[in-house]
Structure 1
Amino acid sequence: MAASPHSPNSSFRRLRGQRSPAEFAGMVRRAAKEIGETVSCDARYIGRVESGEIRCPNYAYERVFLHMFPGHTLTDLGFSPREAVRGRSAHRVPSPRTPSPPLSLFPGFTHSSKESDVLRRAFMAGGSATVAAAATLNLTLLGAGRRVPARAGESEAAAVEDAVRQIRLLDDRHGADALYRKAAEPLRTAYALLDAGATRQSTEDRLHAGAGELAISVGWLAHDSGRFEDARSHYAEALATARVSGDAALEAHAFSNAAFLAGDCGRPRESVRAAQAGARAARNLGSARLLSLLALREAGGWAGMADRRSCEDALTRAHTHFSRGPAAADPEWMSFFGEAELEFLEARCWAALGEYSRAARHARRAADLQDPHFARNVALYTSELADDLARAGAPDEAAWAGHRVLDLLAEVQSTRVESMLSGTARALVPHQRSPRVGAFLTRHAST
């Protein structure tokens, strides 16, 4: 289970010169203070950058590095463009023939540079403008004049898989709210293709897996935008698809998301049962990272029941599995699951157990570790940090983190993040005489 190799960042290494990683990390922290940023930079972080593990820094580090090296771009510093870091397809099954023309289940979310730029501007505009602009991209079920074929082939299976990737990419960058209604359309088409049947068994297997993954992706959009009953229905649909096709990987994924949803709905015992069922489905798949995530889902359920011992046992299992590293068998959808997500999920456990200072330490580490192209996750982790700090008796720090979340909400639409930040604002009201807290509350109210 060897980790995937990274290309060393020799440009950044040259900038460090003769200084030790610890000395250079100190320079980064001092530079951050000069511009009002807070980063938890240490020698380990510098090592991760120089090894190439961190291909693009988060927003806070980006500002600090550009302040330290004026006139340089991130590319000059040896980092990859954000667009190159996220959205690449993994485990793509090549089609044995060249379809003409290709079927698109999510037209308008294709890889055309012009459409991508329009889409980026639309999402940056936010609110109703986002939906209106997205509508101009002709998000219909199929391409113009196309119908569901009598029998689905390789091009249709590939279209379903591409729709899953496109939805995940856009969710990572912009959040779920503006995507959910449009994403339901390709899902209906995917199941229509399943009903039509396939030209060969291997294609039908791909369609089952793709439709199930698409159901989970659409379910997550519903989940993240606060439509919990819709999410529950989509996850159940994916689970049924997995059971019909005997797809253990899809079953594990559906149970993982179902466990997450149950926890958010205040049903911790159901969360534990779903996570344990997911672990049973995943035990022979060869992915330690998947088992780690499922153990974290279970830990969250135990924390919700205030069962500290069971929670700690599950966290230990999660860390043990995670330490075994990535593997070729890791599912494509788990691209979001790295050390940052592990830290975030552990933070949520400690917060549920009422240990807010401990939770804040993990949430801060999650925010610092997260790559910036996962904009929604950066906002989510920082929102968790703000809430934990507010409840740990650090209102000024919580207000600083809250401002960071508001900055990110200019790019991300997530009811989940907005709800968390509203809870933080309520917790900070008793401290509103503090200038920093007062400024945050005023800005939050106006937003």
Structure 2
Amino acid sequence: MLQSQDLHATVAGLVDDVRFQDACARREMGQLFRMLNHRGHSTRQLAAAVQITQGRLYDYMNGKSRVEKITVFEQIADALHIPGHLLGLARRPWEPLPAASRQVAPPPSGSDLEAMDAFRNADRQAGGGRLYAAVVSHLREQVSRRLLDAHMDQSVFAAAAAMTEMAGWMAHDSGRDDLAARHFAKAMPLAQASGDALLAANIAASNSHLALQAGRPDEAVTWARNGFELLDHCPRLPSLVARLHAMTARALAAAGQQQAAERALGMAQDSIHGPAQDVHPWVSPFDCAALASELALTVRDLGQYDRALQWAEEAVSLREEGRTRSRALSRVAVVDLHAHRSDLDAVVHCGYELLATSPTLSSVRFVNQLAELRETLNTHRAYRPVRDFLAQFDEAVRARRLLLADLLSPQSGGQAHEADT
């Protein structure tokens, strides 16, 4: 029988394999176990190593169930010697500490929060496409260099985690979900190293969103549950609790679980109202406008278009002028819902409002949603006002694509660099 050190050696030989990294990033333990089984490790040995029954292992490998609890991910990582960051975990106790490059750690920069706020404000107005490189540069030049000595101040880990997560969102806004997933995978162990459970739970919510965008609702639910587990270790932040419930509701709706989705939706609404001063400097803001947007998408997936339209219109009305991208995405939802309700005059009226979105918004995600909306509207082109509108719509989208040509091109290398965190 192969010994445990041989199992560790097999894992060590796989850590640079893209398929292995992808399985870890998506927390697909069944795929990971299959890879190890194909390399000569028996199911009996694997089950014994990670201290589960062979029956449970078969369920994971056959896709009948998924690992959901953080403690089980930690158990698997420690048994197989999978580096913690690959599974979005903190550095494991058996992993070697990095060698410190200096004897004395410099104090964490007091400008990190100011930089975070500046990037957030710019992102809300102009989109993340043009900002991604700047955030990655700040991470590399101002934050990452302090991480080796950050055991003296955990706030450096928090800054690195929050900005790495922000880089992930900007990559997502640039249409690079693969890159976003890698940033989120790096952000989680940094947050855990900082000891900030709220920040880690916030990153779990971001992973839930990304899994949902990729069409993996089961994984999205798992990430949301992981977020709630993290909140068990700290005071709860109402807006973050609401966000996790909203992610759960959306995932359940996408999976067709209406009653469970409705329950989660109700809990999100109940949770959003908390003390005005109840904020966290590193956690992404989530307000009533953001919740209305998520609820609109949830009930849309449940086929309740009238109700979804009410939430989408509320999201537009609540979103202030400075939040250009959020308002634009909500306007896309409004037009789409009018189309699903076959209210074509409203489609045209709201569609022209949508076209007034600032042309400087550098969001590939917005352009992609416009393309999806175009497919929906094309089914109504027999109606002359819709047909006339589509002519202007197409011209506006062409102009946006020209402005974002470097971001939309798969050959665009300038936006694809990651921070060395």
The TM-score, its normalising length taken from structure 2, stands at 0.66
In the alignment, is residue 383 of structure 1 matched against residue 321 of structure 2?
no
Name the amino acid aligned to 1:427.
Answer: T
- Change in Cα spacing, 1:205 to 1:357, as seen in structure 2 (3 Å) is same
What's the offset of the Cα at 1:396? 2.5
2:249 to 281, 299, 303: 299
- The DSSP-based 3-state class of the residue aligned with 2:246 is helix
- The DSSP-based 3-state class of the residue aligned with 2:124 is helix
1:225 to 154, 174, 191: 174
What's the offset of the Cα at 1:438? 2.0
Name 1:410's counterpart in structure 2: 359
**Deviation per CA, 1:266-298, whole angstroms, max 9, x where unpaired?**
111111111111122124323122111110011
Name 2:269's counterpart in structure 1: 319
What's the offset of the Cα at 1:333? 5.1
Alignment of 1:193-212 (within 5 A): 193-198=145-150, 201=152, 204-212=153-161
Distance in 1 (CA, whole Å) between partners of 2:137 and 2:240 is 29
Name the amino acid aligned to 1:434.
Answer: Y
Question: Does structure 1 retain, via aligned residues, the 8 Å contact 2:125–2:324?
Answer: yes
Name the amino acid aligned to 2:106.
Answer: G
In the alignment, is residue 177 of structure 1 matched against residue 126 of structure 2?
no
Distance in 1 (CA, whole Å) between partners of 2:102 and 2:367 is 42
What's the offset of the Cα at 1:231? 0.5
The 10-residue stretch of structure 1 (435-444 or 288-297) with the greater mean CA deviation from structure 2: 435-444
- Change in Cα spacing, 1:400 to 1:411, as seen in structure 2 (3 Å) is farther
In the alignment, is residue 348 of structure 1 matched against residue 297 of structure 2?
yes
In the alignment, is residue 164 of structure 1 matched against residue 113 of structure 2?
no
Name the amino acid aligned to 1:197.
Answer: D
Distance in 2 (CA, whole Å) between partners of 1:179 and 1:149 is 31
**Deviation per CA, 1:62-118, whole angstroms, max 9, x where unpaired?**
xxxxxxxxxxxxxxxxxxxxxxxxxxxxxxxxxxxxxxxxxxxxxxxxxxxxxxxxx
Distance in 2 (CA, whole Å) between partners of 1:402 and 1:152 is 55
- Change in Cα spacing, 1:388 to 1:149, as seen in structure 2 (3 Å) is farther
- The DSSP-based 3-state class of the residue aligned with 2:359 is coil
Question: Does structure 2 retain, via aligned residues, the 8 Å contact 1:285–1:329?
Answer: no
Distance in 1 (CA, whole Å) between partners of 2:103 and 2:112 is 16
What's the offset of the Cα at 1:334? 5.5
- Change in Cα spacing, 1:181 to 1:335, as seen in structure 2 (3 Å) is closer
Name 1:397's counterpart in structure 2: 346
Name 1:239's counterpart in structure 2: 188
Question: Does structure 2 retain, via aligned residues, the 8 Å contact 1:149–1:193?
Answer: no
Name the amino acid aligned to 2:338.
Answer: L
- The DSSP-based 3-state class of the residue aligned with 1:372 is coil
- Change in Cα spacing, 1:160 to 1:333, as seen in structure 2 (3 Å) is closer
Distance in 1 (CA, whole Å) between partners of 2:275 and 2:281 is 12
Name 2:15's counterpart in structure 1: none
Question: Does structure 2 retain, via aligned residues, the 8 Å contact 1:287–1:327?
Answer: no
Distance in 1 (CA, whole Å) between partners of 2:282 and 2:345 is 37
Structure 1's unaligned 5+ residue stretches are 1-147
**How many residues were matched structurally?**
295
Alignment of 1:144-163 (within 5 A): 151-154=104-107, 156-163=108-115
- Change in Cα spacing, 1:197 to 1:292, as seen in structure 2 (3 Å) is same
What's the offset of the Cα at 1:405? 2.2
Question: Does structure 1 retain, via aligned residues, the 8 Å contact 2:155–2:194?
Answer: no
Question: Percent same amino acid among aligned pairs?
Answer: 27
- Change in Cα spacing, 1:428 to 1:220, as seen in structure 2 (3 Å) is same
Structure 2's unaligned 5+ residue stretches are 1-100, 397-421
Question: Does structure 2 retain, via aligned residues, the 8 Å contact 1:363–1:385?
Answer: yes
Distance in 1 (CA, whole Å) between partners of 2:385 and 2:320 is 27
- The DSSP-based 3-state class of the residue aligned with 1:240 is helix
Distance in 1 (CA, whole Å) between partners of 2:174 and 2:120 is 14
Distance in 2 (CA, whole Å) between partners of 1:334 and 1:372 is 22
Question: Does structure 2 retain, via aligned residues, the 8 Å contact 1:347–1:363?
Answer: yes
- The DSSP-based 3-state class of the residue aligned with 1:408 is coil
Name the amino acid aligned to 2:313.
Answer: R
